[in-house]
Amino acid sequence: MIKSNQDKEILSYIKKISKANINDICAEFKISESTSKRVLARLEAAGYISRYKGGAVALVADYTEFCRRLDDNRGPKDMIARKAAENITENAVVILLGGTTVSMMCPYLCGMKLTVITNSLPVLDQLKGQPGIILVMLGGIYNHEEREFFGNVTSVGLRLMHADSLFMSCLGFSSGLGFMTNHIDSIDFYKLCMKNADKTYILADSSKSERSDIAIVAAAREADCLITDSALSRDKIAEFSAKGVDVIVT
């Protein structure tokens, strides 16, 4: 779902003419090139358009589970994504896994020199062609609803790699149970990612606090850092801190 009126209007404009370049969008809506690019990045991540150098083409609307979650708590997610990107240094090797919050880091990484390992199509779509960014795409079984790859083939590729940092999200978290997901088939892959990265960052907005799910990705102590928003209570922050987790609040 698209909540921004500007995003809706620009999407409608692109659909109307099928294909639009950035200069046309800037002129039509009286916005800057950087603003236009950010809008196109959001629309592409949601699956409504496909970008090419200098413009975008409309796609048939495909409202997946990933699209549904993209606009949930967008404000806090964007702040979390921005803060996460601030923890990445030039020339680093990073793993960006699937999930809406992780995908929202991409606009803040443009212009950096990085190697990005990912199983996420939204990450690939936003960072492909970016000067200075080397993309390593992990293949496997494609999950259309989540727009990501998973499975044994995905893990085989990752076993050959090492990263400075891993950025991943979860569907629920608590200091007692840890970080949870409903993707049972991805548990081994998540754990391999954590093993092959020097530092693990969990990106989760406060709405996921105390929400439980079917599978535990990691115990609280296994994460190095939790990046969340200011609505998470001080007591909850203290619980994670007591377990050695560095909590960054946006």
The pTM of the whole model exceeds 0.85: no
**Lowest mean pLDDT: which of 25-39, 82-96, 203-217?**
203-217
Check residue 152 and give its pLDDT. Answer: 86
Residue 45: pLDDT band with limits 50, 70, 90: confident
Which amino acid is residue 1, in one-letter code?
Answer: M
Check residue 60 and give its pLDDT. Answer: 56
For residues 80 and 64, the model is more confident at 80
pLDDT surpassing 70 at residue 244:
yes
pLDDT surpassing 70 at residue 232:
yes
The whole-number average pLDDT for the span 201-216 is 89
Interval 177-208: pLDDT, tens: 999 988 888 889 999 999 999 999 999 999 99
**Lowest mean pLDDT: which of 55-59, 69-73, 87-91, 139-143?**
69-73
Check residue 225 and give its pLDDT. Answer: 98
- Mean pLDDT (the chain, rounded): 90
Interval 13-23: pLDDT, tens: 888 777 889 99
Check residue 172 and give its pLDDT. Answer: 92
Check residue 214 and give its pLDDT. Answer: 78
Check residue 30 and give its pLDDT. Answer: 95
Check residue 59 and give its pLDDT. Answer: 73
The domains located in the chain, with CATH, are: 5-62 (1.10.10.10), 67-249 (3.40.50.1360)
Check residue 90 and give its pLDDT. Answer: 97
**Lowest mean pLDDT: which of 49-58, 75-84, 216-225?**
49-58
Q: Minimal CA–CA distance to 87: which of 103, 108, 66?
A: 108
CA separation for the pair 172, 114 (Å, rounded): 29
Distances (CA, A) of 106 to 58, 85, 94, 114, 228: 21, 8, 12, 12, 18
Check residue 175 and give its pLDDT. Answer: 92
Check residue 211 and give its pLDDT. Answer: 81
CA separation for the pair 132, 112 (Å, rounded): 6
Check residue 1 and give its pLDDT. Answer: 58
Interval 148-166: pLDDT, tens: 998 888 898 899 899 999 9
